[in-house]
Amino acid sequence: MKKLLYISISILSLSCKAQNPVYDITDLQHRVEDIHGAYYKDINNLLNPFEGTYIFEKNENSLFKIVLQKKIMSSMNGYLFEDLIIGEYQYIENGLEKVNTLNKLEIYDSNKRNHSIDGNLIITLGSVGCNDCQPGEKAIRGGLVDGSSNYTADLIIRRMIVNGQSAIKIWVGWRTGTSIYGQPAPASPSFKGTYYTLIKQ
| Model confidence pLDDT, tens digit, residues 60-95 | 899 999 999 999 998 877 888 999 999 999 999 999
- What's the average model confidence in pLDDT over 104-127? 88
Strands 22-24 and 39-41 turn out to be parallel
- The string over 107-136, giving b where at least 16 C-beta atoms fall within 10 Å of a residue's C-beta and e elsewhere, is eeeeebbebbbbbbbbbeeeeebbeebeee
Ordered by where they begin, the domains of the chain are 21-200 (2.40.128)
* Distance (Å, whole) CA 3 – CA 118: 52
Alpha helices, H only, the chain: 2-18, 28-33
* Distance (Å, whole) CA 90 – CA 21: 38
Gap between the terminal Cα atoms of the chain: 63
- What's the average model confidence in pLDDT over 91-102? 95
Q: Would you state the pLDDT for residue 20?
A: 84
Q: Would you state the pLDDT for residue 188?
A: 87
Q: Would you state the pLDDT for residue 178?
A: 62
Please say if the pLDDT value at position 170 is more than 70: yes
**pLDDT, tens only, 2-31:** 554 444 444 444 344 446 899 999 988 777
